[in-house]
Structure 1
Amino acid sequence: MGLFARLTRRWNTGGGAPGLTIDPAHGDPELTLLRERALAGDWPGVRAVLDRAVDQDDLTLMIGLLADVTGSESWLGQALAADPEDPVTLLAHGARHIHWGWEARTAARAQHVSEEQWKTFHERLEAGEELLFKAAELDPELLGPWLFLQMSGRGASVDRSAARHRFDAALRRSPGHPASHRQRLQQLRAKWSGSHEQMHSFARASMLAAPEGSPLGELVALAHIEHWLSLPSGEDAAYMGRNQVRDSLHEAADRSIRHPDHVRGRTWAQTHNTFAMAFYLAGQPHAANLIFQEIGNAVCEDPWNYLGGDPVDTFRRVRAACA
């Protein structure tokens, strides 16, 4: 979900909402430094931060942030030309190509994408996949290629078996990786190659298979939001108001962000924002308000962009309503 929502807009700087801003680095000092150096085109400085990643999950998160920086394909290409066999540089350049491809396609519906946009989209995805597969071959322990290959695979319409293989490859390297699970959830949407039933089943099974306190409970909330988004006006509110939906949201929150064993990672705010919106849509303002209190001003663009308008203003409005 996160990638597609960012395709046609820059990071919001807060609009008319004093005290609120969307921070791609999630307020994390290390990620902030990485982004500053990336915006300056400082590859040696960027690489120094990447080399401090604590594990594959951390490195993949950093690469994703880097891949969102407009224009980074230029100096990443130069870095790769200087060291064409370096797996991390291949990973970074490949990930950028995947994001760059989706930027060319835009978030418009397929019938509104021009022939030239489709051509550029597929060219960039193809180039990105080649780089990612080479990175994976040179360093089989890398998680990153398999996350970004899930993103490209959806755009390239790979068959179900290939899509599943890419997800399984990510899980072999990091069984509880939230971003890979989010990508798999997207793949199972009815819009792509799945159904509501497959999407919800995957979300719940993933949550139950994870240790209590895991952030994977977010998948249940995300699945309900995606289901809500697919329904016409009136039916969407009725769906979110079902007792079954509300009960499943509380169960998921109790097993994840409300569980005493829950540990906040670098991107904890993404999970909390998703639950806050899901509870709001489900007519549970008290539950949403408690989460808003934990979020503070750590607003994320996703999922508030689903409600239309400026995400920061939407966050502020919903937070006030729930309070």
Structure 2
Amino acid sequence: MSRSSGGGEGDGGRAERASALVTDPFDAHPGLAPLRTAARAGDWAATQDFFAGLDSVDKTSVAVGAFGGIAGTETYLEKAVAALPGDPLARTLLAERYIRIGWEIRSGARAEHVSRDQFDRFHSWLRKAEQLLIEVCAEQPAYAPAWTSRITLARGLQLGQSEARRRYDRLSAHHPHHFSAQTQLLQQVCPKWGGSWEAAHGFAQECAASAPDGSHAGILVAEAHIEHWLELEDSEATAYMHGVPVRDDLRHAALVSVLHSAYRQDWHWITGHSTFALAFSLGGHLEDAARHFAALGSMASESSWQYLGNWQSRFMKFRKAALATL
């Protein structure tokens, strides 16, 4: 689902603006680039070496997610799984790829706009992924990327709130502030997936309050407000994001996360600043948004911005207005 938030531009204008932004995570994060090279070459040894060199669970989950978006990798991953049936990485990467294939078939449309055939094929791919990950999680109960993908699967397979939360709790027992998993569960607890706004905002606030200052968890607060905005009618949505309570909520969340002195620019930082830049821009709080646009420079993440039609041109327009306040 997308929402337009302003006038359009000609195709030439959009192309010019889009070319000025770096949006591919492999280009935005140079440390990820060797993984793309290995994936495109179908080089399993190089893929293994890349993951073996990562120094945090957060980086591993980000890399697994980025890898899942590379088309065609399922071919060499299936060979790797067959050759190394006990390798958790091979099975997790293949499962993540199956999830992406399934979701591409389903599309991002609301359920009422997805055909029965789409749902059948979607669920077929997700069940293949689930079978792989059940085994991984049984053998490696602390393996965060597999549990993170299983939270996504719980949503796609419509397993319900309790099962999604159970999977998150199993992961958080080992990794209590794992942002990749938190952002997946946040989607689950929103009304569009059977949750409620009380649950969504509550979970975001719970994560932000319990995490150390300078963590990524505050980003969830902005994500929850953007999700809420998306569900409201135009005038109500505008009033919601312009409201002082939301503005103050966003300011506090930004200060304890991406704007905190303890925050470190790992592979979530572009998503974090992009999300706050959008939330503040939607509320007309341009001076607040400016700090995040300034931090981003030419970088941008589509994570939440994709909800806007022609999001890259909208990003550029909002950025220009915000930076003019500095």
1:307 corresponds in structure 2 to 308
Task: Compute the TM-score of the two structures, normalised by the length of structure 2.
Answer: 0.91
Q: Tell me by how many angstroms 1:43 deviates.
A: 2.0
1:278 corresponds in structure 2 to 279
Task: Give 5+ residue unaligned stretches, structure 2.
Answer: 2-13
Measured in 2, the distance between the counterparts of 1:29 and 1:222 equals 26
Q: Which amino acid aligns with 1:312?
A: Q
Task: Compute the TM-score of the two structures, normalised by the length of structure 1.
Answer: 0.92
Measured in 2, the distance between the counterparts of 1:30 and 1:265 equals 10
1:253 corresponds in structure 2 to 254
RMSD after superposition: 1.6
2:234 corresponds in structure 1 to 233
Q: Tell me by how many angstroms 1:268 deviates.
A: 0.6
1:89 corresponds in structure 2 to 90
Measured in 2, the distance between the counterparts of 1:75 and 1:204 equals 41
Q: Matched residue of 1:191: which SS?
A: helix
1:56 corresponds in structure 2 to 57
Is 2:150 the counterpart of 1:149? yes
Q: Which amino acid aligns with 1:265?
A: D
Q: Tell me by how many angstroms 1:26 deviates.
A: 5.6
Measured in 2, the distance between the counterparts of 1:32 and 1:119 equals 35
Task: Give 5+ residue unaligned stretches, structure 1.
Answer: 2-13
2:16 corresponds in structure 1 to 16
Which of 239-248 and 58-67 deviates more?
A: 58-67
Which of 311-320 and 276-285 deviates more?
A: 311-320
Is residue 57–residue 174 contact of structure 1 (8 Å, CA) maintained in 2?
no
Measured in 2, the distance between the counterparts of 1:300 and 1:216 equals 17
Is residue 151–residue 185 contact of structure 2 (8 Å, CA) maintained in 1?
yes
Aligned residues with identical type, % of pairs:
37
Is residue 35–residue 66 contact of structure 1 (8 Å, CA) maintained in 2?
yes
Q: Tell me by how many angstroms 1:274 deviates.
A: 0.3
Q: Which amino acid aligns with 2:318?
A: V
Which of 145-154 and 132-141 deviates more?
A: 132-141
1:126 corresponds in structure 2 to 127
Measured in 1, the distance between the counterparts of 2:220 and 2:249 equals 11
- In the TM superposition, structure 1's runs of 4+ consecutive aligned residues that sit over 6 Å from their partners are none
After TM superposition, the structure 1 = structure 2 runs for residues 69-84 of structure 1, keeping only pairs within 5 Å, are: 69-84=70-85
1:10 corresponds in structure 2 to none
Is residue 276–residue 288 contact of structure 1 (8 Å, CA) maintained in 2?
yes
Q: Count residues in correspondence.
A: 310
Distance change >3 Å, CA 260–CA 30, structure 1 → 2:
closer
Is residue 20–residue 298 contact of structure 1 (8 Å, CA) maintained in 2?
yes
Measured in 1, the distance between the counterparts of 2:175 and 2:309 equals 34
Q: Tell me by how many angstroms 1:207 deviates.
A: 0.6
Q: Tell me by how many angstroms 1:141 deviates.
A: 2.5
Is residue 150–residue 184 contact of structure 1 (8 Å, CA) maintained in 2?
yes
Measured in 1, the distance between the counterparts of 2:195 and 2:109 equals 21
Q: Matched residue of 1:263: which SS?
A: coil
Is residue 22–residue 312 contact of structure 1 (8 Å, CA) maintained in 2?
no
